[in-house]
Every structure is written in C-alpha cells, then in structure tokens.
Amino acid sequence: MHKTLATLPVAVIGAGPIGLSAAVHLLNRGYTPIIFEAGTQAGAHLARWGHVRMFSPWSYNIDPAAVELLNQGNWTEPSLAKFPTGKELLEHYVLPLANHPKIASHLHLNNRVLHVSRCNHDVLRTKGRDDTPFVLRIAGPDGEHDVTAQAVIDASGTYQTPNWLGAHGIPALGENAASNAIRYGVPDVLGVDRAHYTDKSVLVVGGGHSAFNALQDLVRLSEQSAGMQVHWAVRSESVTNVVRSPANDELQERRALEVHIQALLEQDRIHVHTGIEVDTISQDGNRLIVHSNGKSLPPVDRIIAATGFRPDLSVLSELRTTIDPATQSPTRLAPLIDPNMHSCGSVPEHGAAELSHPESNLYIVGIKSYGRAPTFLLRTGYKQVLSVISALDSEEEPTPVQPCAAPTCPG
C-alpha cells in the first residue's frame, strides 16, 4: 500500500453490531477507524425490531474482541445461555460498545454515507487505482462533505430496504398507493404499533421467521381484541413444514417459535392462504384486497410485509464490486449461502477471500454481505470482520472456502 494511503483512516459504514465489531478489530490492529452511522444512535436498525426475541443466545450475539474491550470498563457480561430481545442486545451490548471512549471518539452519528468512490478515479479509470484513497460523500447535520479513507468496510445492513409484497420482486400493482396500511419487517404489534392493529383484520405475507414473529404477536393481541382476524399468505402450496429446525437445534428459540406457530395453526387461530403470489393490491374503501393470479383474498385493514430484505448497493456503484446476480452478495460468497441451493441455515465459515472485490480494500460485511439470502447470523459476521481486517495488511490473497458439493441440513 502507498505510504500516504496507509496514514488515512479505515471507513466503516454503519454502527450496527458488525460495524462496531469491525472498529474494535481495526483498533486492535493499529488502524484508525472512522465510523459513519446514519441514525441518531448506534444500532439504529436493531432499535426498530427491539421487541423481537432473538433466536440465538447471548453467546452467539457478542464478539469476543468487543467483550475484551468492554471488560476493561465496568460492563457486566450477560448470561450467555439466555436469549435477548433486540432491545436487550442494543442496550446491554451495542450501546455500551458505541459509548466506550475508544470507539465513541471515532463514531459519527447522524452521518449518512451517500456515495463511495476513489479520488479522481471513477469506476472506469484503472491507472494507479489501488494506490488512490477512497472518497466518501457524507450527509451530516451541517450539510455534505467528503472524507478520504485507505479502506472501506460496508456494514450498513439491509433493514432500511425491505422487499416488496409483489411476487415479481417489484411493487405489486397498487402497493405504493396502499402504503399507509402496509408495514414492512416486524412491527411492534404488542407495543408502539398496538393501536394500529387493535380490532383490525391483518394479513401477514411471507414464510420466514419474521412472519412467525408477527403472527405470534397478532394472535396474542387478538385474545384481547374480539374484532381481530389474523390472515397469513405464503407462496408455498402448504404450511405443513412450519417446524423446520431439528429437535436438537442449537438455536432453541427458533424451533420454539416454529412449534408455537404450528400449534396456532392446529388451533385454527390463523386463516392460511397458500400458493399466493401477490400481483395486485386493490382498495375497497379503507380495506385492502390482495390478488394473486386471478384469485382474491378476503379484504383486510392492514398488511404486514414480512418478505425479507435486499441490500442497497447504489452507494458503491462507482466501485468495482463483484456481486452475484441472484443473491446480490459478493460473488464468491454466493454459492455458500444461496437459498436455492441450501434449505438450512448452516453456512461454512468464510472470510476475506469470499468477501473481496476487484476493488482492493473494499469489503461488504454483516447482514448486507448476504444480499437477499436470509440466513445471516451475528456470529458469522464477527468472524467475517476478524478475517477482513487481518487481510487488510496482508500481502497475500486469502484462500476461499470451497462450497459444499452437497449441503446437508442437520436432523
């Protein structure tokens, strides 16, 4: 690396759990991190799903390197076998880490990264590229400014860019017009969003654990709200395989949630609609009607789109990335996580080799690195940043992990 380049900070985009972990590893290796967080606090995305109980225990959710730093102060380690909510993870881990003096002095809240490029090098220009600083355009409280960096670690997550309800991957016809009655992700049905759902007919769309969380809360709310109806629409032709995790699943809370949904289905507490590919949403007065291939679902008052998330890659469009066209993850990571090839959540360990791009010293990490694949775990992200930051100062290119020829699910 060019000498003057090496004196610049390493930019980290996003102060979620993985971005903060990257900052800890950077400090441990003698780099100066500069962390940009779009939100008013670190863990801004976590705060939006703070009411959700995580299915991985504390032991999976914290980075040993960060724990070492926190233990230098008066932090009390949580009980490792317990399962925190998003809010507990935020309050007992992410915020203490962000507020640690060694991190806080490098953290810039309310600073959104709008674009990343290389100084005087648009994406087309090759000569001298690797020795040229990155330039990040930042929108902060005082307007826009540029910052230079020797490397960029993008840990900006995906929660801000949910998938559409539309089965084509684009908005369903009428989806934008109905946006007042649609929430994306996992709304806080029993908390701040309670009034929005009380006494309403609600349709949850999506087949994953976010949908299960929303359904579980809606059924609980319906116990105190006689006028409520809970509907669930999935693409699959049946919902007989709700309990997907093995009996000895390490992530016991994941299986417990699946078993609970199975029980609610058996008790007919949820109206199930299978084989639904949402193409149109029409409105009848205040009510919404979802249409799928000529079939119409019963009118509802509210819709929850638990249809997953996608990465916003536009920030990196002036850089030479290599992105898998299907998963939208870095190309070499894709075969390890592609849900078309893996039905279970077990992903081989991977690191800098799988996460690298033709652009030197650029890495996408954390949940954003998984693109549209839904199986990311924090534990994986902590290993990613350890590997990536070790690779920043190594001369040799790391060897990629071989994808499993025939991935098998436990149980």
The residues binding ligand FAD (CB under 6 A) are: 13-19, 36-39, 43-46, 49, 52, 54-56, 60, 112-113, 155-157, 159-160, 186, 210, 315, 366-367, 376-378, 381
Least CB distance to ligand FAD at residue 237 (A): 26
Least CB distance to ligand FAD at residue 66 (A): 12
User: Which residue, 35 or 297, is less far from ligand FAD as judged by CB?
Assistant: 35
Q: Which residues of 92-130 are buried (b: 16+ CB within 10 A; e: fewer)?
A: bbbbbbbebeebeebbbbebbbebbbbeebeeeeeeeee
Query: Which residues 6+ apart lie within 8 Å of 359 measured at CB?
Result: 118, 129, 319, 320, 321
Torsion sign over Cα 31, 36, 41, 42: negative
User: Which residue, 210 or 329, is less far from ligand FAD as judged by CB?
Assistant: 210
Are the CB atoms for 125 and 93 separated by under 8 Å? no
Which residue is associated with the tokens 């809370």? 253
Q: What is the DSSP letter of 179?
A: G
User: Which residue, 16 or 207, is less far from ligand FAD as judged by CB?
Assistant: 16
Q: Supply 382's token pair.
A: 């902590």
Least CB distance to ligand FAD at residue 85 (A): 10
Radius of gyration for the alpha carbons in the chain, expressed in angstroms and rounded:
22
Least CB distance to ligand FAD at residue 386 (A): 14
User: Which residue, 210 or 222, is less far from ligand FAD as judged by CB?
Assistant: 210
Least CB distance to ligand FAD at residue 405 (A): 26
Q: Supply 188's token pair.
A: 């806080």
Sheet (strand 10-13) strand order: 107-108, 33-36, 10-13, 151-154, 362-364
Least CB distance to ligand FAD at residue 20 (A): 8
- State the virtual CA torsion across 187, 193, 198, 201 in degrees, nearest 10: -30
Q: Supply 252's token pair.
A: 């016991």
Task: Report the 3 state secondary structure along 323-369.
Answer: ECCCCCCECCCHHHHCCCCCCCCCCCCCCHHHHCCCCCCEEECHHHH
* Phi/psi at 233 (5° precision): -115, 130
C-alpha 347/C-alpha 342 separation (Å) is: 9
User: Which residue, 61 or 361, is less far from ligand FAD as judged by CB?
Assistant: 61
Query: 92 in helix, strand or coil?
Result: helix
Q: Supply 350's token pair.
A: 């991977």
User: Which residue, 96 or 157, is less far from ligand FAD as judged by CB?
Assistant: 157
Least CB distance to ligand FAD at residue 188 (A): 11
User: Which residue, 79 or 283, is less far from ligand FAD as judged by CB?
Assistant: 79
User: Which residue, 201 or 380, is less far from ligand FAD as judged by CB?
Assistant: 380
The candidate with the shortest Cα–Cα distance to 163, out of 115, 235, 219, 220, is: 235
User: Which residue, 45 or 302, is less far from ligand FAD as judged by CB?
Assistant: 45
Least CB distance to ligand FAD at residue 107 (A): 11
Least CB distance to ligand FAD at residue 316 (A): 10
User: Which residue, 174 or 330, is less far from ligand FAD as judged by CB?
Assistant: 330
Least CB distance to ligand FAD at residue 235 (A): 20
Sheet (strand 143-149) strand order: 112-118, 134-140, 143-149
Least CB distance to ligand FAD at residue 310 (A): 13
